[in-house]
Amino acid sequence: MMTDTQWPVFEVFHQQARGEPHVYVGSVHAPDAEMALLLAKEQYARRQACVNLWVVPADAITASAYEDADIFDRSTDKSYRESWGYKTPKTISSGDGKDSEK
Amino acid sequence: MSTFETLESLNGRLRGAVVDLLYRLADDDLIAGHRNSEWTGLAPILEADIAFSSMAQDEMGHALAYYQMLHALGEPDPDTLAFTRQSRDFRCASLTCLPNHHDWAFSVLRQFLYDAAETVRLTALSQSALLPLAQLATKLRSEEKYHLMHGRGWVLRLGDSTEESHQRMQAALTNLYPHALGLFEPTAADEPLAQARICPREEELRRQWESAVAPVLADAGLDLPETVQPIHGGRSGGHPEALGQLLNDLQLVHRLDPVAHW
């Protein structure tokens, strides 16, 4: 791996509206977390709407190894784990039988 | 207290005072924005480059908004104002036009001192009795809030990071402070603007600015020069040679073909 001679790397997560998940958008180099937030604002939030940013030191992340990617493979049919494998009611039943699915 | 709902409701001496104020605001932003844009592609690291360039665009956007207001008051259109006036026609303070000399310490300190002044001024103008100006100031203030956070972040870190960074920042402060005070050069417009509650007197804004920047500079380990003579002249068209050179760059393409359509 190439040695990075710049400041430490912070990974940046962007939230478009309150209640939405923070989504990973990229990284910035910065001397500390506060400056990372200031610099991330112009890199990642100057075009799309934003209400909140997270920055996380890249070295705080523990990642799985790509050579172990086969652990995510499915050897047998696991469609029962997918929501599309089931019929879903259009309305939630209140339990009194009045608004059950047609 | 009377308010002015529209620009058209201004008359006589007060109208002239508002025009004077708008030229100062617009020219400060255009020239500061142009100077800061000279770092595009050259700032110390990519992230700093993008942030600084983006803020330079913000300042030019603010200048355009003020030029449009001037145009509504009967002055020439924004392009004519930006691209055809001579140095002596500009009303910017000297702080905005000083060359960067490839010194990042100088440029981020100027950005901090300038945007602290903008924040003070826009906060005051957001309460202006001239409602279109109050609305514009309120709108521009959120971008200035970020600019101030950015400048403060750099000043606090470079002020006492290494021996070299401290020395560069201290030298920049000693150099820049008298020019920064020139942002508050009094003009004949002060009295009518203050009496009409359109903009506070420059000396009042200067006091607010001094109490805003002093604690940050102290936290950064930087010493204010002991006696300072503000550098005035910009508000009446007296500028350092550097402004003429900057305008040569800024207006170069326009001069090649003044009637070209883009």
Q: What is the pLDDT of residues B209-242, one digit of tens each?
A: 999 999 999 999 999 998 899 999 999 999 999 9
Q: Which residues of A touch B55 (CB under 8 A)?
A: 42
* Residue B175 backbone dihedrals phi, psi, to 5 degrees: -70, -45
Report the CATH number at residue A56.
3.10.20.520
Band of pLDDT at residue B125, cut at 50, 70 and 90: very high
What's the alpha-carbon Rg for chain B, to the nearest Å? 18
pLDDT number for residue B227: 86
Whether residue B60 lies inside any domain: the answer is yes
Band of pLDDT at residue A82, cut at 50, 70 and 90: confident
In whole angstroms, give the CA distance from residue A29 to residue A11.
9
**Which residue in this structure is represented by tokens 């804004």?**
B205
Band of pLDDT at residue B1, cut at 50, 70 and 90: low
Whether residue B123 lies inside any domain: the answer is yes
Whether residue B85 lies inside any domain: the answer is yes
pLDDT number for residue A101: 46
As given in the structure block, the two tokens for residue B216 are 């940050």
Instruction: Determine the average pLDDT of the residues in A70-99.
Output: 75
Residue in A with minimal Cα distance to B44: A6
pLDDT number for residue A44: 95
Residue in B with minimal Cα distance to A33: B153
Whether residue B4 lies inside any domain: the answer is no
Beta-carbon separation of A38 and B46 below 8 A: no
**Which residue in this structure is represented by tokens 């392009």?**
B79
Whether residue A76 lies inside any domain: the answer is no
pLDDT number for residue A6: 80
Domains held by chain A: number: 1
Instruction: Determine the average pLDDT of the residues in B191-215.
Output: 98
Q: Which residues of A touch B47 (CB under 8 A)?
A: 28-30, 39, 42-43
Whether residue B75 lies inside any domain: the answer is yes
Whether residue A2 lies inside any domain: the answer is yes
Band of pLDDT at residue A98, cut at 50, 70 and 90: low
Band of pLDDT at residue A85, cut at 50, 70 and 90: low
Beta-carbon separation of B47 and A29 below 8 A: yes
As given in the structure block, the two tokens for residue B132 are 């279109």
Residue of B45, B50, B157 lying closest to A42 (CB–CB): B50
| Distance (Å) from the alpha carbon of A49 to chain B's nearest alpha carbon | 14
In sign, the C-alpha dihedral spanning B250, B100, B122, B20 is: negative
CB neighbourhood size of B89 (10 A): 12
In whole angstroms, give the CA distance from residue B195 to residue B14.
10
Domain that residue B41 falls in: 11-224+232-256
Residues B97/B35, Cβ–Cβ less than 8 Å: yes
Whether residue B131 lies inside any domain: the answer is yes
**Which residue in this structure is represented by tokens 């990284």?**
A27
pLDDT number for residue B84: 96
Report the CATH number at residue B166.
1.20.1260.10
- Rounded to two decimals, the pTM is 0.89
Q: pLDDT tens for residues B77-102?
A: 999 999 999 999 999 999 999 999 99
Domain that residue A7 falls in: 1-61
What number is the ipTM of this complex?
Answer: 0.85
Q: pLDDT tens for residues B144-166?
A: 999 999 999 999 999 999 999 99
Whether residue B261 lies inside any domain: the answer is no
pLDDT number for residue B262: 72
Is a pLDDT exceeding 80 seen at residue A91? no
Whether residue A4 lies inside any domain: the answer is yes
Band of pLDDT at residue B189, cut at 50, 70 and 90: very high
Whether residue B3 lies inside any domain: the answer is no
